[in-house]
Amino acid sequence: MGRAISRASLLALAAALGATAALAQEPAAPVRESTEFTLNTDQPRAPEQLAVTFDRADLSIKVIPDDKAIDAVAVLDFTATAPIERLVVELDTLLTVSEVAVDGVAVPAGQWANPEGRMTVELGRTLQPGQTAQLRIAYAGQPRVAPNSPWDGGFQWATTPDGKPWIATAVQGEGCDLFWPCIDHPLAEPGRVDLHITVPSDLSAPSNGRFLGKQDHGDGWTTWNWSAAHPNTYAIALNIGPYAERTTEYRSRFGNTFPMTYWHLDSDDPAKVDALFAQFSPMMDFYEATVGPYPFADEKMGVVETPHLGMEHQTINAYGNEYKLDGRGFDWLLHHELSHEWFGNQLTNRNADDMWLHEGLGSYMQPLYDRWLNGEGWMQASLVNQRKGLANKFPVVSGSEKTEDQVYNGDIGPGNDIYSKGSLIAHSLRMLIGDEAFFRSVTRLVYGTATPRPGSLQPRFGTTEEFRTIVNEEAGRDLSWFFRGYLYQAALPDLRQTREGDRLSFEWVTGDGGVFPMPVEVEIDGRRQTLPMNDGRGSVTAPVSAHVRIDPDNKVLRRLEHIEAWKTAAAAAAADD
């Protein structure tokens, strides 16, 4: 669902997205701590990492529930783009490396090191541009136990209601290196990841990509084989449990078909499983109609039930909302995680500073889905829920590179504002430029083209500035003021009013004092007019006795004193408790 830092943050997000049921809190697990380096992700890459393409990762991982351990072999293929003399990957030091080899030749212990979780392997030669190298790493041990998955991640070793092992990984905030050797950076996606997950034979192991079959070894262990193209590094996920499988063939509005599968606990209430599974097709149709074709149709659309709340693991989204209903006619968590197949997996931000492209645009899909299902009033109610939770302490986008923690941690960055404020900014943009320009802009951002078609899609990386450029082109005007006033300032634009007799004047004031020519609708005794606010100012004739409503359809995100007063009173009441 994107990373949140704390349960309190998640509760606020859940309220903003419309979830009304309480979220359960499991006791915190004891932590064998990884290094500070390993626990951070999205950090600058080493020069050697910048000088290679990561072609393929072949991961053989045996998961041993009784020991809460793994025994694994990773085979990593690289191609040099500049001369290098060593390979550099990340791997948690909690895992013991027993063997390192390059191109089938063992590397002596003195020629590789992994002191803080950044492993350096000497090649013994210079790898020239275009040449390849294959790195094999055998490792084992007890990986980091998630203190509070998915917000503080790692492995979650849980049990089902009937006492069977139920295991899941969620590592967005800490990175792929918690359980497999990788280049822990969003721009270092492998071209392909092949997974061979060995588990006790009475359990299942659904994972990313296409299912390539399983092999029962006849000794109580079975290997499940999967293959995924261009996965986000943190999206590789292990999910192990006594699962039953529901599958249907989805017929896309684009003419192609692909499987949609839900792996759920075999002890679940069949009626609840049926009700959730019935939501898959209409959600998919909404996203394909609104954004474009499902990006991973040559693999699958997959969902797996997990002991944690949720996470956008490419083609195997984690779902742990326990079938809760909130009166909206759909499961908010299922819908939000599915949004990330477009906003996060197909489109990946180049840096965490642009994380609102994942979370804000993904969160805006829920009010739009409320409208798709039940009409305008339901969308407005959803937007009001989001509006109440804004912090406005830090800009949604800073304009400089950030780590994930610097973005998701609301004490030092925008935190949950990347979700709800990002959504409301998207809504204001749509109201400003119209549906055609807005949705064409979103589609171009996600796919790199306004006319995506199944079979020709490649995941891509994007930035806020790229989105601004696309919006300018589609709207036919320069909207830099909009992006500057909303995304790069902490404070919301403030529409200030003054009156002189029958003349009512307005002025926009933004965090940086820049001109903000956002048009505003004004309703005077039931009659509406639009003030263009070309220089950030406008005025209208309105008798003192007239009833005046500003922005009657709530098209414009702006500072509202009554919400600030409510939040101040709520904070004071909480302090008194």
What is residue 20's predicted lDDT score, i.e. its pLDDT?
A: 38
What is residue 42's predicted lDDT score, i.e. its pLDDT?
A: 86
Tell me the pLDDT band of 576, cut-offs 50, 70 and 90.
confident
Annotated binding site for Zn(2+): 336, 340, 359
Q: Is the pLDDT of residue 30 over 60?
A: no
Architecture of domain 7-339: Sandwich (2.60)
What would the mean pLDDT of 467-486 be, rounded to a whole number?
98
CATH tag, 494-576: 2.60.40
Tens-place pLDDT, residues 334-349: 999 999 999 999 999 9
Q: Is the pLDDT of residue 107 over 60?
A: yes
Tens-place pLDDT, residues 442-466: 999 999 999 999 998 999 999 999 9
Q: Crossing angle for the helix pair 464-475 and 356-374, nearest 10 degrees?
A: 50
What would the mean pLDDT of 233-259 be, rounded to a whole number?
97
Residue 227's DSSP bridge partners are: 194, 210
What is residue 571's predicted lDDT score, i.e. its pLDDT?
A: 87
The C-alpha atoms of residue 305 and residue 273 are separated, in whole angstroms, by: 10
Annotated binding site: 336, 340, 359
Tens-place pLDDT, residues 31-70: 568 999 999 998 899 999 999 999 999 999 999 999 999 9
Q: Which token pair is 325?
A: 């209903």
| Beta strand residue intervals within 269-356, DSSP E | 301-305, 310-311, 317-319, 347-349
**7-339 with 348-487: one CATH topology?**
no
Tell me the pLDDT band of 18, cut-offs 50, 70 and 90.
low
What is residue 395's predicted lDDT score, i.e. its pLDDT?
A: 98
Q: Report the percentage of the chain scoring pLDDT > 90.
A: 91
How many helices and strands in the chain, by DSSP H and E? 14, 27
Q: Which token pair is 163?
A: 């006492």
Residues 294 and 345: beta-carbon distance below 8 Å: no
What would the mean pLDDT of 516-538 be, rounded to a whole number?
97
Q: Is the pLDDT of residue 541 over 90?
A: yes
Instruction: Give the residue numbers marked as catalytic.
Output: 337, 419
The C-alpha atoms of residue 228 and residue 316 are separated, in whole angstroms, by: 11
CATH tag, 348-487: 1.10.390.10
The C-alpha atoms of residue 430 and residue 313 are separated, in whole angstroms, by: 29
Sorted by where each begins, the domain ranges of the chain are: 7-339, 348-487, 494-576
